[in-house]
A and B are shown apart, each in its own frame.
Chain A
């Protein structure tokens, strides 16, 4: 018996170790003084400071908790009631409801998400808190029922008859007989519902809008550059949960010691403690979030001037200077709601679904597409006097030469970052993108997981235009990529490449110039090279969609981003090249900034460099081929 107890302890101990290894990791690295996620640079509280000053993060916590609590409560009650009713219904009804219930459980989240997105757009509800809550309730109920139904099946059907024979009303029979019998099922159903809601990312991402985001959305969109303050947030959450669990488990024990005579059952004490703890948690969250919401929200002046005091900005994650938004808010007495997208295509999906934003920042080819589809407003140049600050390098852009619809935000190129300790610079300089087929460096590659960027390398190395839609050239590029995939073991990544190269995990990476700037800044072993066979020059620009609600404020924002202060703040923090003529000059010449950094200033006027154009057929072909490359 004793021996068995020991084995049991060891097994359970190992189980807990497995479950808590990542948690320990999160806690330790939340105190890291550097950004790195593998080496501990020393103890620091900087990520905690950053977290509390980040109002977006505080709001995300608020929405996550509130939605999880409401969705769990509603779905547990509705799910249990329905499951009980169903167990007494005709077989046909049971099968139909159970069948339909399987849909949200079995479908990939993304399908449920898209179906709801289409649905909410079709009935023209304003997306935000309410739609997100409805969606969460929708996908939580089936889980509750899945958990409750087996309990009901193993329940003796005569129990209810017995209760009612003894004079119980149906309601009493329900509450006093059935519910206690299936309580474990209800509790585990509620736990699963809470977890599902708390963790959900994809469905929330698609059905929300108007600046309402939960923690998952925040994490996903901020992951462009790993932000350890999310570890700080998680650590606080662990503390909070531990505290709650402590209260729930200790209070009944303490009370049991004191009040054995009172004759209260342990269960009711436990539920009281549970309720108490829940109240404490909601209270703490409310206070913390209330602090970040504080301040007078009515901004009369702004409303008089612009017709509204809030503006909605839609932008890639980690693409804004630290104080840019708060300075703009202060100066003009307005609020800015910032939402983040992961790719131009994701942004396009949201715009197509009818989501309204005032300013969006997509890339060149996507702007071309939006212009073709007549989804943008022409800009009023009389409201944009700072257009004169634009650097000559970003004037006369092919897709919008007169800035009729777009104003540059950042620009850059794509090049090769390599570790000059392990890679012969000659190889990179002579072979250009061909170095990605050089088996001396097999297993040492990071390549962007994006059909545009990878086909660009192949096209350029083969001497074609990267905008080619010639089937033979596309086939050749496809084979080039297949060869790379087969012989070089490349790692296809997105933004992890930044952290990966800073830490020197691999020797060669194809990256955007702004990311290269950051990598070179932090790791001296890295060098940057712009291949001689030509590369992609890109421009991300601010545009105002047709359905923008506050175009006046949007113009004010665009104009503000072209001021010296805003452009400086932005470029210094993010590392991408500024479209502001003075900022660009200062960044690229000042010793303290990026003068020694070959990645900051993209190459201009090189005839083999190109800008992407939009071509629906080519895009479709490439994206299908790219999946095939990766799947091989």
Chain B
């Protein structure tokens, strides 16, 4: 058994060099002010004070979390049934569906987002289609709708894949057993399938929520420049304003918030599993 443990050592060294050291450099920036010069080290909370005391930044933070939560909820609500239905299919078409869902993600994300821009334009493809039914033209580009749509489109495959994996691996005899013991379909789903697939849902949430909360490209293209999320502010600090210290501080704040929400999610994850054993 112990022999397996040593398989971890190379990776521990690797993350020390490739993750920890670079992150320490970022922290160094967050707790210092004035320019990109590391030599004149002056410990300071100034960057954090600036962020917390400014209502605009707090509003943006709130908006980012809101959009990310909405996106994640939609991804779960839409992704779960799809993953469930796919898992019901015979293995051949099951595999095919999974490949069909993965395939679009291999087309560059920027290219796909540009495609949505063309589709959502006021005189774009979608409005033309709506026009046939006498609806519209609806103004869709540069709205919250477009941003959430873009995020759901880009991130939902991760949700479906994760949920599908846990459903697919589930022992199908459990369902028969439940049925034999007189459980209705709904009962079987709620008390057997759902709890067993929760780990997949949780890792799906992780894979959707995180990129959604920090995304800056999708809001920039589909929401227009007026659609500012935290990711955009961080990007601006590093690339336009050149204030790496402030940018690093915002990143740290965001990382803390995310860690907290993940900790919450994991707590939720544990509960149904224990209550299932009652």
Interface residues of A (CB under 8 A from B): 8, 11-12, 15-16, 18-23, 25-26, 29, 37-39, 78, 81-82, 84-89, 93, 97, 100-112, 114-116, 118-119, 122, 134, 138, 141, 143, 146-147, 150-151, 153-154, 160, 170, 174, 184-185, 188, 191-192, 194-195, 198-199, 201, 215-216, 219-220, 223, 226, 230-231, 234, 237-238, 241-242, 245, 248-249, 253, 342-343, 345-346, 348-349, 352, 447, 449-451, 485, 490-494, 496, 503, 505, 619-620, 623-624, 627-628, 630-632
Residues of A with C-beta under 8 A to B15: 97, 100-101
Docked-complex contact A631 and B251, CB < 8 angstroms? no
Q: What is the bound-complex CA distance between A241 and B107, given in angstroms?
A: 10
Q: Which among B10, B203, B258 has the highest number of chain A CB atoms within 10 Å?
A: B203
Q: Which residue of A lies closest to B236 (CB)?
A: A627
Looking at the assembled complex, report how far the CB atom of B88 sits from the nearest CB atom of chain A, in whole angstroms. Answer: 7
Docked-complex contact A108 and B251, CB < 8 angstroms? yes
* B85-119 CB contacts (< 8 Å) to partner A: 85-86, 88-89, 92, 95-97, 99-112, 114-119
Q: What is the bound-complex CA distance between A450 and B225, given in angstroms?
A: 9
Q: What is the bound-complex CA distance between A37 and B123, given in angstroms?
A: 10
Docked-complex contact B238 and A349, CB < 8 angstroms? yes
**Stretch of B39-47, B163-171, B172-180, B186-194 contacting A (4+ beta carbons < 8 Å):** B163-171
Which of B1, B107, B118, B240 has a CB less than 8 Å from the CB of A37?
B118
Contacts A22-B112, A104-B19, A245-B99 given; does A12 touch B106 at CB 8 Å? no
Docked-complex contact A147 and B225, CB < 8 angstroms? no
Subset of 15 A-B contacts with CB under 8 Å: A19-B100, A23-B107, A25-B118, A82-B7, A85-B4, A93-B5, A110-B214, A141-B14, A188-B165, A198-B105, A226-B114, A238-B103, A447-B225, A631-B59, A631-B233
B239 at the interface (CB under 8 A from A): yes
Looking at the assembled complex, report how far the CB atom of B187 sits from the nearest CB atom of chain A, in whole angstroms. Answer: 17
Residues of B with C-beta under 8 A to A249: 92, 95-96, 99
Q: Which residue of A lies closest to B221 (CB)?
A: A496
Docked-complex contact A134 and B26, CB < 8 angstroms? no
Q: What is the bound-complex CA distance between A264 and B230, given in angstroms?
A: 54
Docked-complex contact A110 and B119, CB < 8 angstroms? no
* B1-44 CB contacts (< 8 Å) to partner A: 1-8, 10-12, 14-15, 18-23, 25-26, 36
Looking at the assembled complex, report how far the CB atom of A32 sits from the nearest CB atom of chain B, in whole angstroms. Answer: 10
Q: Report whether over half of chain A's contact residues are helix, strand or loop; otherwise say mixed.
A: helix
Q: Report whether over half of chain B's contact residues are helix, strand or loop; otherwise say mixed.
A: helix
Q: What is the bound-complex CA distance between A69 and B7, given in angstroms?
A: 23
- Given A106-B259, A215-B108: 16 more A-B contacts, CB < 8 Å: A16-B100, A16-B101, A22-B116, A29-B118, A38-B121, A81-B7, A111-B255, A119-B25, A122-B25, A195-B106, A219-B111, A505-B121, A623-B241, A627-B56, A630-B225, A631-B57
Looking at the assembled complex, report how far the CB atom of A210 sits from the nearest CB atom of chain B, in whole angstroms. Answer: 21
Docked-complex contact A93 and B26, CB < 8 angstroms? no
Number of interface residues of B (CB under 8 A): 109
Docked-complex contact B82 and A100, CB < 8 angstroms? no
Q: Which residue of A lies closest to B199 (CB)?
A: A150
Looking at the assembled complex, report how far the CB atom of B15 sits from the nearest CB atom of chain A, in whole angstroms. Answer: 5
Q: Which among A15, A97, A242 has the highest number of chain B CB atoms within 10 Å?
A: A15
B81 at the interface (CB under 8 A from A): yes
Residues of A with C-beta under 8 A to B71: none
B72 at the interface (CB under 8 A from A): no
Q: What is the bound-complex CA distance between A227 and B2, given in angstroms?
A: 56
Docked-complex contact B239 and A219, CB < 8 angstroms? no
Docked-complex contact A216 and B108, CB < 8 angstroms? yes
Q: What is the bound-complex CA distance between A111 and B99, given in angstroms?
A: 32
Residues of A with C-beta under 8 A to B95: 249
Residues of B with C-beta under 8 A to A216: 108-110
Q: What is the bound-complex CA distance between A82 and B15, given in angstroms?
A: 12
Which of B8, B85, B203, B232 has a CB less than 8 Å from the CB of A146?
B203
Residues of A with C-beta under 8 A to B232: 627
Interface residues of B (CB under 8 A from A): 1-8, 10-12, 14-15, 18-23, 25-26, 36, 54, 56-57, 59-60, 81-82, 85-86, 88-89, 92, 95-97, 99-112, 114-119, 121-125, 142, 153, 157-158, 161-162, 165-166, 168-169, 199-200, 203, 206-207, 210, 214, 216-217, 221, 224-228, 230-236, 238-244, 247-248, 251, 254-255, 258-259, 262
Docked-complex contact B102 and A191, CB < 8 angstroms? yes
Residues of A with C-beta under 8 A to B168: 184
Q: Which residue of B lies closest to A503 (CB)?
A: B123
Q: Which residue of A lies closest to B142 (CB)?
A: A491
Docked-complex contact A493 and B235, CB < 8 angstroms? no
Residues of B with C-beta under 8 A to A219: 108, 110-111, 114
Contacts A106-B262, A494-B225 given; does A241 touch B241 at CB 8 Å? no
Q: What is the bound-complex CA distance between A240 and B110, given in angstroms?
A: 19
Docked-complex contact A151 and B169, CB < 8 angstroms? yes
Looking at the assembled complex, report how far the CB atom of A19 sits from the nearest CB atom of chain B, in whole angstroms. Answer: 5
Residues of B with C-beta under 8 A to A349: 238-239, 242
Q: What is the bound-complex CA distance between A619 and B236, given in angstroms?
A: 12
Which of B3, B5, B26 has a CB less than 8 Å from the CB of A114?
B26
Docked-complex contact A12 and B97, CB < 8 angstroms? yes
Q: Which residue of B lies closest to A7 (CB)?
A: B85
Q: What is the bound-complex CA distance between A627 and B235, given in angstroms?
A: 11
Residues of A with C-beta under 8 A to B227: 630
Docked-complex contact B166 and A150, CB < 8 angstroms? yes
Docked-complex contact A485 and B226, CB < 8 angstroms? yes
Q: What is the bound-complex CA distance between A463 and B258, given in angstroms?
A: 46
Residues of B with C-beta under 8 A to A147: 162, 165, 203
Q: Which among B59, B206, B225 has the highest number of chain A CB atoms within 10 Å?
A: B225
Docked-complex contact A110 and B199, CB < 8 angstroms? no
Residues of B with C-beta under 8 A to A16: 100-101
Q: Which residue of A lies closest to B28 (CB)?
A: A118
Which of A118, A447, A620 has a CB less than 8 Å from the CB of B25?
A118
Q: Which residue of A lies closest to B164 (CB)?
A: A188
Docked-complex contact A82 and B11, CB < 8 angstroms? yes
Q: What is the bound-complex CA distance between A269 and B23, given in angstroms?
A: 44
